[in-house]
């Protein structure tokens, strides 16, 4: 994860963005790690900007609940399948 001081916009590495974009288009599960919190396994639906922040719209694979995951709040992302 790469961040820029003084801004709220965080950046993933090129490899992480590629993996995220591929997961969105293919419906592949992702695991997001957040500092001080547990890991979230989700199916990403879209990557977009909301109020100047990058957000992943996702669905929980078991419950079907819709989730918003803000990129600037995560520590890492991993493709699971």
- pLDDT cut 70: percent of the chain above it: 88
Question: What would you report as the CA-atom Rg of the chain, rounded to the nearest whole angstrom?
Answer: 12
The model's pLDDT over 22-68, given as tens digits with 9 standing for 90+, comes to 999 999 999 998 877 788 899 999 999 999 999 999 999 999 999 99
User: Tokens in use for 64?
Assistant: 């079907």
Please tell me whether the overall predicted TM-score, pTM, comes out greater than 0.75 for this model: yes
Torsion, Cα 76 16 65 55, to 10 degrees, reads: 90
**What are the structural domains, with CATH classification, of the chain?**
8-79 (2.30.30.100)
Read off the pLDDT band of 10 (50, 70, 90): low
């Amino acid at each position: 994860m790469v961040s820029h001081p003084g801004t709220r916009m965080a950046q993933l590495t090129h490899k992480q963005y590629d993996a995220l974009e591929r997961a969105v288009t293919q419906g592949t599960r992702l695991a997001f790690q957040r500092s001080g919190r547990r890991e979230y396994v989700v199916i990403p639906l879209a990557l977009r900007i909301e109020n100047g922040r990058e957000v992943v719209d996702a669905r929980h694979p078991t419950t079907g609940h819709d989730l918003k995951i803000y990129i600037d709040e995560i520590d890492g992302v991993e493709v699971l399948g």
